[in-house]
Structures are given as C-alpha cells and as structure tokens.
Structure 1
C-alpha cells in the first residue's frame, strides 16, 4: 500500500515537473519569437533626405603666385624660408646688383650727353636764325647776295631737323635710364601678395639667367581661402548648377565635414577646348566626359593643404523633417509608379502601396501610404509565427 502511494506521488511530481518544463519552453519560445519579430520590422519616422551628386576634387590656394626673376645675376641673399608668412611688399631675396648699377650709370651718362647735345643744337639753331634774319633784311634793302640768303636758309632748316633728331635721342636716353633703373629695382624680389612661402626653388649663390623666360625663385600662396576644383561626370552635369549647396571631406580627415556653395561650372570639357587648337577637323571623343566645377572654402585654421583630394557631395535636392522609409524594405514598383511594402499591424502582415518622393542612398520620402510609427517588415517572420498570429 505504501509502495503504491509512493509510486503515485512520484508520478504526480514527474507530471508537474514536465508541465513546468513545457511552460518554461513555451515562455522562452514566445520571448524568442517576440525578439525575432522586433528584429523583422522598421519603425517609420521622420528625418532629412538629401539627393547628392558625388565627385572628387583637388584643393589649391585661391591665390598662388610663382615669384620669378626678371634680371640676370647671382642670387646674393634669401630673406625667407619655406613656411614663412610674408606681407605684400616684403623683401624676399636679392640678386647681386653690380651689373644693373653699371647699366644705370651708363644710361644716365648717355642721357646727360644727349641733354647737352640738345642744348648745343638749340644754341646753333639760334645762331642760324639770326644769320637768316640778317640775310633777309639785307635782301629787302637790296644789299644782300641771293646765294648767301639761300645758304642761311638751308643752314637754319638743317639745324631745325638736327634739333628734332637730338630731342628724339634724348627721349631714347630717358627710356634707357628708366629701364636700367627698373632693372636695378628688379634685383630686390618683393612679395606680390600677402601669404606664405610654399616652396623655394633656387638657392643662395646660384646664377640666374632670365634671357628667355623668368625663372621661378619661389612659390607664394594665400592659404586663407582654398579653391576646390572638381570634375563632374557627363551623366550628372544636367543635375548640377552654380549656387547649389554642397559638402565635402578630405581624405586625410574623413570625419570632418566642410560646407560651401558651387561657384562656376565650365560649359565645355577640357578635351573640347584643346580640340580648338587642332586643325585636323576630326572631332575626338574620349570614353568619359567630365566638366570642371570650382568653389571656394575658408581655411582660417590652415587645416586644408595644397593638392589635397576631396570627396565632394553636391546637393541637387533635399527635404527637411519628412516621413521617410529605408530603401531596404521597399518592394517592387507597379505600373502606376507605386511601391509595395508589408506592414505589421494587429499581429498580421498586410500589404501597402506607397508613393515615394526624393531619395538618397538609404532613405526615400513617403508621400502617401504610411504614417509615422507604422512598422514595416524588413523580412518575413517564420511561417509558424504567422499562422499562430492568425
């Protein structure tokens, strides 16, 4: 009797443990299904959408000047080094001025000689004028000789022409002095702009020969404003125009965002402009066509450097605080231009048709078909879950 009761007790305990285990498994399964369901839908919310055209650009200073030498000679002294900030008119370098000083002295001596020659010609002209006047008076009195009058007239006329020639030589001598004085000034290389020294090409003691082209001594740039030169693809050129907002980052600092406005866009690609010098008459078309665009960006902190590469995003359309949906949950488009999505509501899956507006790489604007807070399925739950919900 006691053994029967013991067996019955054991059976009851076993049944209760089995029921507890089944309840625990059911609860765990329900929680897992709920977690899975939460992972299978996206909640519709609001946000900003930007449609952009992406391109690359290269940074250059807005003002960059190659400082050259206009006279020959040995570079006597450099007064700056790379990286120095300079002011407009500051002395940068000096060329040995001995040759230019001697040229100026020769030009000034020639000028003085020509001035003296002009004065001598004037004195002689006055003398010839008096002689001519006397001969004319004698001719009127009948006491003169015609040949003497003719000779006096000829001397006067010849001296008048000589004076004009001497005056022309004087002008040429004055020009020579001005040129020599300018060349002497060119031995002192002055900064043409405010900026900084990007690089120095020549060294002290080096001989400069500027007979044909002005050799570059150094490069100056105003780094306070940078110009970004971009290349816009033919497929995107009609979407872009001057005045559009944009943003970019440089490869050296991809986490820092810079904002600006598109400045100018070239109406013809570089290849087409170069073809204008080709007289063959045969048009040449490359595989890819790009149009140049430029915009400026302030660089007060001097973080942007010359020749940096920029990833540029030109904003061609945008919407602020609109209802939006992830593109990953949007289905196929029908004949009326609407898109199908599946919405999880009241424990069931229902189909919706949406009208969408602008889009970017992640979201699309919802024009109609959804409300804020709707739960759109990004993946179907297990079939068993769907059956259970029904």
Structure 2
C-alpha cells in the first residue's frame, strides 16, 4: 500500500514539472548564428569598370581623294614620325601640277604684256603733251592719251592679279600632290588599318580614317566610370589596382592622374571619368581591354573587425521582450524592465557611424552600441565599443512564438530571459 502511494506521488510530481513547462511556455529555445570579432588589416575601396587605351591615339586620314596605289604598313607595325604609310595614285595630281605651271607661264606673259602697254601709253602721252604745248595737237588728243594710259595701268593690275592666282594654284597643286604620300605624324604602333591596296578613298566632306596609331603602348591609361556617390572619395595621385579578363590572376597597379569634371549620364545614372596612368613594360595590356578597378581610399592596420552581417542583423521580438526566468531575482527582473522601458537616451536619428550589435556572452544575447569606421564591403572597422577580439556577434536568430512547437508534442525547455546591455 505504501509503495503504491509513493509511486502515485512520483508520477504526479514528474507530470507536474513537465506540465508546468508545457502550459507556461510553448516556445522553443532561440537559436543563434554567430561570427567572431577579428583583428587585422582592412582597406576601403571604390570599385568601377573601365577601358584601357593608349595615352595618345592618332587617326591618320587623307586630304585628297583617289585610288590607293601602295600600303607600306600593317597591323602592329612600329613607325617613326615621317615614315610613309601609304601612297595614293599621283597621276591626276601630277597632271594638275603641270597644268598649274602652264597657267602660271601664261599669266606671267600677260603681266609682261601689260607692263609693255603701260610704258607705251606713257610715252604716247608725253609726246602729245609736248606737241600740245606748241599747239600742234588739240587738248582732246592729250585727254585721249591719258585715258589710254589709265586703261593700260588697270590691265597691268589685272594681269598681276591673274599671275598671283596662277602661283597660288600651282602651290595648291603641289600640296595636293604631296598629300598623295601619307606619312606617320608620330612615333608609335599601327593598331588599326582600315583600307586595302586598290581601294578608292573620298575626302569630299571629311578625311576618311586609314590608320590608327598609338603613340607608345608601354604607357597606357584606364578610363573608368565612377558613380557620383563615390567620386568624392577619389583624388589625384590615389593608388588603384585592376584586373583584366585576359589575365585574371594578375593584378596591375596605377595611379589616378585626374578626375574629369564633365558628367556622363546613362539611363539617369551620373558618372565621372577617373583617368588612371598605367605602366605596361611587357606589353601584356592591349587597347580596348575591360578593367575591373578598385580605388583604395583608406586603410587601417591591426584593428578590430566586425562582419557586416552583424551590423545588418535586427533582433527578433523574443530578444527585445524576453520573459525573465523563474530563478532570476526580482531585483534583476526589475532592472531589466527598467532598461527596456527607458527608451533611447538621445532624441533624433542616430549618427551614421553609430550602430548596435548583439553579442553572445554566457549563452545570452546582449546589445552593444558601437562606433564604426571604414568598411571593405564584408567587414567594418570597430572604432569604439565594449567589444574584444573573438567575441561572438549575432548574425542571425531563429525561434520564439513563430517557431513554437505545436501543441500535443513535447516542447523543449523554456528559454531563459535575455538581458540587454548598453
């Protein structure tokens, strides 16, 4: 009889213990995912894409129209200033020079003839004036002689004008003949040839481009498009590193030469051109390559680093409104309630460099206010705050009422209350 009573008491006691947890709380334990606070170096970067090009690129064209008779260079040919690149058939232009010379001779002859006529008219006028003084001729004859002299002088001026035109035409014909020989204006490398022998080129409205010459591919530049939100972080002389698809494992370095003020707008996005000078001694880099650029605008060594996921984490309601455990003292619960009800001590929005993170200590999540510095996109510098190396910061949490075990299943133990620390 006695053992039966003792057994009933034990069953009721165990059932009461689990029943208390079942009816008092149906919420499972909050599960935290954490990451460590680390110490190390960090670099803050602005990323952009750009295109490689030569420092100086010259488009070589033609000033005259005609058929290409000869091409002396090809792609990748190294040329010096004055080297002949191509020749246009000069026959038409040689004939134009010959005609201009003939026209010049004709104009010179006309000018000489006009000078003779002026001299003859002057002599005739002088004779008539002498005869008129002795009344051998009338004044009308003298006046006619003066008119003839004026006419001869006018014809001389016209002849001299025609002579000047003939000389200019000959000079123009000589220049056009010279244009049939196309020469390099700079020292460099031919990166593009757009014509073939026998092709006819027309320079009626604008000079067609025959060759593209890059001055020196051992020194190049990268033109990058930097967004207006990031352009303020850049300055001339800043270092930049980039990679290209052709050599994905090689990192090339350069320096910002200038940030151009002219905006570029594409689909309502405003960007600015940041020009980077790059050395290319082994000629691995080619014009037109796409570069993925990173500008380093700040760096720190030996600082505490917090994962950015911890800064983005937002506490779930069960962390903000925990239920105090039964074994927690009344004084501790009252203190926690006071902290929860205190609210923010300062009015207005928080400073941009002030953040809150949750740290897991002794199995409890505590909130800390910190001040942050630069970021590399995945980690952020800790400038001020009661955190130390290897602290576990919360990056995710699950559990609480939304994930509560369904009624009828044995629930897990009721979670202990969480305390917030400031």
TM-score, normalised by the number of residues in structure 2: 0.67
Aligned equivalent of 2:287, options 281, 300, 306:
306
Deviations 1:256-283, CA, capped at 9 Å, x for gaps: 2322205233433356xxxxxxxxxxxx
Q: Determine the structure 2 residue equivalent to 1:377.
A: 392
Does residue 268 of the first structure (1) align with residue 263 of the second (2)? Answer: yes
CA contact 2:52–2:288 (8 Å) conserved in 1: yes
Does residue 164 of the first structure (1) align with residue 139 of the second (2)? Answer: no
Q: Determine the structure 2 residue equivalent to 1:360.
A: 376
Q: Determine the structure 2 residue equivalent to 1:295.
A: 275
Q: Determine the structure 1 residue equivalent to 2:82.
A: 89
Partner of 1:268, secondary structure, is: strand
Aligned equivalent of 1:318, options 277, 294, 298:
298
**Distance in 2 (alpha carbons) for counterparts of 1:362 and 1:43:** 13
What 5-or-longer segments of structure 1 have no aligned partner? 1-38, 272-285, 381-386
**Distance in 2 (alpha carbons) for counterparts of 1:180 and 1:85:** 31
Equivalent positions of 1:1-390 (< 5 A) are 42=36, 44-52=38-46, 54-222=47-215, 223-240=217-234, 244-255=238-249, 256-269=251-264, 286=267, 288-298=268-278, 299-315=280-296, 317-321=297-301, 323-328=303-308, 330-331=310-311, 335=350, 337-340=354-357, 342=359, 353-369=369-385, 374-378=389-393
CA contact 1:343–1:352 (8 Å) conserved in 2: no
Shift of 1:329: 6.9
CA contact 2:372–2:384 (8 Å) conserved in 1: yes
Partner of 1:117, secondary structure, is: helix
**Distance in 2 (alpha carbons) for counterparts of 1:324 and 1:136:** 116
Which range moves more in the overlay, 141-150 or 154-163? 141-150
CA contact 1:262–1:293 (8 Å) conserved in 2: no
CA contact 2:240–2:293 (8 Å) conserved in 1: yes
Deviations 1:158-214, CA, capped at 9 Å, x for gaps: 111111111111111111111110111111110112111112222122233333433
**Distance in 2 (alpha carbons) for counterparts of 1:150 and 1:323:** 110
Deviations 1:121-164, CA, capped at 9 Å, x for gaps: 11221221222233334334444421221111111111111111
Partner of 1:260, secondary structure, is: strand
TM-score, normalised by the number of residues in structure 1: 0.73
**Distance in 1 (alpha carbons) for counterparts of 2:270 and 2:289:** 20
Partner of 1:181, secondary structure, is: helix
Partner of 1:367, secondary structure, is: strand
Closer/same/farther in 2, CA of residues 164 and 339 from structure 1, 3 Å limit: same
CA contact 2:372–2:381 (8 Å) conserved in 1: yes
CA contact 1:77–1:204 (8 Å) conserved in 2: yes
Structure with the largest fraction of helix: 1
Closer/same/farther in 2, CA of residues 296 and 112 from structure 1, 3 Å limit: farther
What 5-or-longer segments of structure 2 have no aligned partner? 1-32, 315-343, 345-349, 396-415, 417-422
Shift of 1:352: 5.0
Deviations 1:95-125, CA, capped at 9 Å, x for gaps: 2211111110110111122112112211221
Closer/same/farther in 2, CA of residues 140 and 47 from structure 1, 3 Å limit: farther
CA contact 2:228–2:272 (8 Å) conserved in 1: no
Q: Determine the structure 2 residue equivalent to 1:22.
A: none
